[in-house]
Chains A and B, each alone.
Chain A
Amino acid sequence: MLQVENLTIGYGKTEVVHNISFHVQKGEIITILGANGAGKSTILNTIVGLHQAKDGSIRFQGKEISKARPDQLVKQGIRLVPEGRQIFPQHTVLENILLGAYIEKNANKIDSRLQSIFERFPRLEERKNQMGGTLSGGEQQMLAIARALMTDPTLLILDEPSLGLAPIIVGEVFDLLKQISSSGVTVLLVEQMANSALKISDRAYVLETGRIVLEGKGEEIRNNSDIAKAYLGSI
């Protein structure tokens, strides 16, 4: 579904991601693990068109997308839940969700998706008229995911969804991702929180200062204590 080949990305003259390749197949949950500053956000922002790669190719469902704009990619079914959630704090919860459906012009579709979002996230419905900024961290993460689901994406990408959340909430977020995945959405996530992410992942890549140094099944990587020590800190 997503093929990244020989991707090199930088900011100005500094290269931060060097010639990486990875792929995501339909229905998989894939995790890219890496410490702070490894280049995870850079890769994701480049896939969704916020940043341009220096070199290499990104193909989605066979089509080259490395030059596409974010709005075009949203239309093709790729959605990113950005690092730090980045909800709109001065928009209401409902407005945040509706912004997620900005490209959808069909009011019936918007309505029915909104209904299923509210069924899945009753807490967001209770708070729909509250300002986004008044939600707790966990609720904001749910809101950020709900917002992305408003266009029925085929590939959902998440940048450190566990960042700054209490362990119980992290558990809820990963359960949710598993559910979303089993409803037919392909999931690509990047994380520093190795353990919970690997538990739900089919495969994982380990990224170290802009290079992929390891690839394997989620379980394998999780059970490899050397990897844990070397790249992921304590699990």
Chain B
Amino acid sequence: MQEIVTALANGSIYALMALAIGIIYSTTQIINFAHGSVIMIGAMSSYWLLSFAQMNFITAMLLAVLINIVLSIVIYKVSVEKLGDLTNNSRWIVTLFGAGIIIDNTARILFGTEPKAYPYLFDGKVIPIFGSKIMVHEIMMILVAVVIGIVYQIVIQKTNFGRAVRAVSFRPDTSRLMGIRSNHIVLICFAISGAVAAISGALIAPITFASYTMTYSIGIKAFAAALIGGLGNTKGAFIGGISLGLIEEIANMVVPGGLKDAISFLIMIIVIIVLPGGILSAKLFNKGELNAEKV
């Protein structure tokens, strides 16, 4: 029971991270290689607001979200709009990697190299459920992820903004003919992605410790979950995240600790080879339809 909850909790956060990658990819076909760094900044900035500025969790979280929104907008403006021509080439691969490296090194200078113990929500309170001891923090991880996932789908499917996002992702120029400012929509998607990254980073940090190395230790799992779920498939992100959480937890039980990540990535690689469009692109899930849903 405890293992299942842990798997679901971690999986939910991987799902959120994959969702954030998917939000950008589905509108722009850009893979935000700086995303791991954005997650890390979410964790580190909220850590410092909590421990140094002594803020309460909600205030610290809101500020961290704000910091990440600004950071993501800057990343978009500089790495994508200015330096990486969105439509004509793939310069953004280099400029986004570059942005990640700059952010990581800045974080190392600002926050130091030592991993910090990040406080659990509700002081790590444990409650008994069906005879197992479950941490409230883990329940919150699942709840927050589910709520964000559902809200995102509603916004995308039912609102004017969501309609425009789907339009821009499909035909950016035609969308402009509708009077939609396609680059604003993309900018807002970067901002949303950054906000989600802050929340996911802060929720996973108590489990992993907060450190500038989260970019790689956690960021890479975000990409793994996104790929397993199907890049740009924002519903698939949840399948990918939960799968990764479960795979990890199973690997944890059967192989020595250090190998857990290796097993997860092995499985990710197998999924990508067998189903390049992610798990949801399997025939089983499509009943004759051509592709997994785009957004």
A residues engaging B (CB < 8 A)? 48-50, 69-71, 74-75, 79-80, 82, 86, 88-91, 95, 98-100, 102-103, 147, 151
> Quick one: given A50-B173, A86-B171, A90-B294, are A102 and B178 in contact (CB under 8 Å)?
yes
- Contact partner, A50, options B163, B176, B294, Cβ 8 Å: B176
Interface 1/0 per residue, B158-183 and A, CB below 8 Å: 00100110110011011111111100
> Quick one: given A90-B170, A91-B163, A91-B166, are A75 and B177 in contact (CB under 8 Å)?
no
Residues of chain A within 8 A (CB-CB) of B294 are 90
Residues of chain B within 8 A (CB-CB) of A88 are 166-167, 170-171, 174
Residues of chain A within 8 A (CB-CB) of B167 are 88, 91, 99
B residues engaging A (CB < 8 A)? 160, 163-164, 166-167, 170-171, 173-181, 294
Q: Is the interface of A mostly helix, strand, loop or mixed?
A: loop
Contact B166 A90 (CB under 8 A): yes
Question: What would be 24 A-B contacts, judged by CB atoms less than 8 Å apart?
Answer: A48-B177, A49-B176, A70-B176, A70-B177, A71-B180, A71-B181, A74-B178, A74-B179, A75-B179, A79-B177, A82-B174, A86-B171, A86-B177, A88-B167, A91-B163, A95-B163, A98-B163, A99-B167, A99-B175, A100-B178, A102-B160, A102-B178, A103-B178, A151-B179
Contact B179 A70 (CB under 8 A): yes
Chain B residue nearest to A50 (CB atoms) is B173
A89 to B167, CA, bound (A): 10
Q: Is the interface of B mostly helix, strand, loop or mixed?
A: helix
Contact B179 A102 (CB under 8 A): yes
A69 to B176, CA, bound (A): 9
A102 to B180, CA, bound (A): 7
Chain B residue nearest to A51 (CB atoms) is B173
Residues of chain A within 8 A (CB-CB) of B181 are 69, 71
Residues of chain A within 8 A (CB-CB) of B170 are 88-90
